[in-house]
Amino acid sequence: MEAWGINHITQQDGFKGIKKIAVGEHHTVMLIEGGDVYVWGRNQYGQCGLGKQELINEPQLLTDVKNVVDIACGANHTLFLTKDGAVYACGLSTERFPAKDHHVYKPIKLDGLDKEKVVGLSCGKRHNLLVTS
Distance between CA 13 and CA 107 in Å, rounded? 27
Three-state secondary structure call for residue 8: helix
Q: What pLDDT is attached to residue 67? A: 97
Q: Tens digit of pLDDT for each residue in 43-97?
A: 999 999 999 999 998 899 999 999 999 999 999 999 999 999 999 999 998 767 7
Domains of the chain with bracketed CATH? 17-132 (2.130.10.30)
Tens of pLDDT, residue by residue over 2-32, are 455 666 676 666 667 899 999 999 999 999 9
What residues contact residue 77 under an 8 Å CB cut-off, 6+ apart?
24, 45, 47, 89, 90, 91, 92, 93, 96, 97, 104, 123
* Residue 11 pLDDT: 66
Instruction: Give tens-digit pLDDT for 109-132.
Output: 998 888 889 999 999 888 888 999
